[in-house]
Amino acid sequence: MNSPIATLVRRYFSAYETRDRQILEDLLDERFTFSSPLDDRINRAAYFARCWPNSRTLRRFTVEKVFDQGGEAFIRYEAESITGKKFRNTEWWRFEGGKLMEVQVYFGRDTRPAMPVPSRSSAARMADWPATAALFPR
């Protein structure tokens, strides 16, 4: 059985899949803030300007885990772009009065099947991180 928060989580991601902005308009509080490695506590208007356009490039979200307690939740999901690229992220959400107040995104890795690669230095591996950011052009 889904908790009320898990239901809201799935509704949020369904908005991206169906490109139905009104779902998010109804879910996000006027004081909503969004943070990620690319965004530092941007407000609701900036979120819609910067993040909502990604709905055009994302095909599917598979919510793998929702851990919720009180008015907070951790969510792990796999997302798939319209080009077939897949990645996994984790997010922390805070709710008040049934409205989403805050989201903090922690970028994960590309989840396509790994190909054998020769051993690389940690500096070379770190150079791969911008690949996730490239999925979300500004």
**Is residue 136's pLDDT more than 60?**
no
Domain residue limits at 100: 4-134
Pairing of strands 86-96, 28-36: unpaired
Counting other chains too, the contacts that 79-85 makes at CB distance below 8 Å and 24 or more residues apart are 81/57, 81/135, 82/56, 82/57, 82/58, 83/57, 85/110, 85/112, 85/135
- Residue 51 has a pLDDT of 95
Task: Say which CATH number the domain at 97 has.
Answer: 3.10.450.50
Average pLDDT over residues 24-47: 97
Give the predicted TM-score (pTM) of the model. 0.78
Q: How many domains does the chain have?
A: 1
**Is residue 32's pLDDT more than 90?**
yes
